[in-house]
Amino acid sequence: MSLLRRKPNRPQRSRTRFIKRVSETEADRLRGEFQAPPARAVTAGTENKLARLMTLSPVTVATLPTGDLGQIAMVSDANSPSVGSTVAGSGAANALVWFNGTNWTVIGV
């Protein structure tokens, strides 16, 4: 006597019914949306590194979240930004900032 129970015989379900068919142009559009920019080789001294370009959408200082250490953002309304200072809003300058665990700090102007 076997202790294993046999499952009743059921017909196999076709998995193809869950696949949505799209046209070639739609497939090309979707491929473009989800692909990262092409990588390029960067030579630094004798060392080759693989780099990818990243584009940040600018936000205002007031909309910066309470960040996690190491987060980076671009702000569009920095007030007299200087590298190493805490970013302040209500200005007209663009600045690259990072969250140092306490404040959003300017790392590039």
pLDDT for 4 beyond 90: no
Q: What is the largest CA-CA distance in the chain?
A: 84
The helix/strand/coil state of 11 is: coil
Residue 70, domain extent:
61-108
Share above pLDDT 70 across residues of the chain, in percent, rounded to a whole number: 52
- In 3D, which of 16, 32, 36 has the Cα closest to residue 24? 32
With respect to residue 101, please indicate whether it lies within any of the assigned structural domains: yes
Q: How far apart are CA 43 and CA 45, in angstroms?
A: 6
Same domain for 104 and 65, yes or no, is yes
Residue 52 has a pLDDT of 64
Q: List, for residues 76-91, the tens digit of each pLDDT value.
A: 999 999 999 999 999 9
Q: List, for residues 18-49, the tens digit of each pLDDT value.
A: 555 656 666 666 665 555 555 555 555 555 55
Total of domains in the chain: 2
With respect to residue 44, please indicate whether it lies within any of the assigned structural domains: yes
Q: How far is CA 39 from CA 36, 42, 49, 52, in A?
A: 8, 10, 10, 5
Residue 9 has a pLDDT of 65
Q: How far is CA 53 from CA 9, 29, 100, in A?
A: 54, 21, 23
With respect to residue 14, please indicate whether it lies within any of the assigned structural domains: no
* Amino acid identity for residue 18 in this structure: F
Residue 53 has a pLDDT of 72
What does pLDDT average to over the chain?
Answer: 75
With respect to residue 42, please indicate whether it lies within any of the assigned structural domains: yes
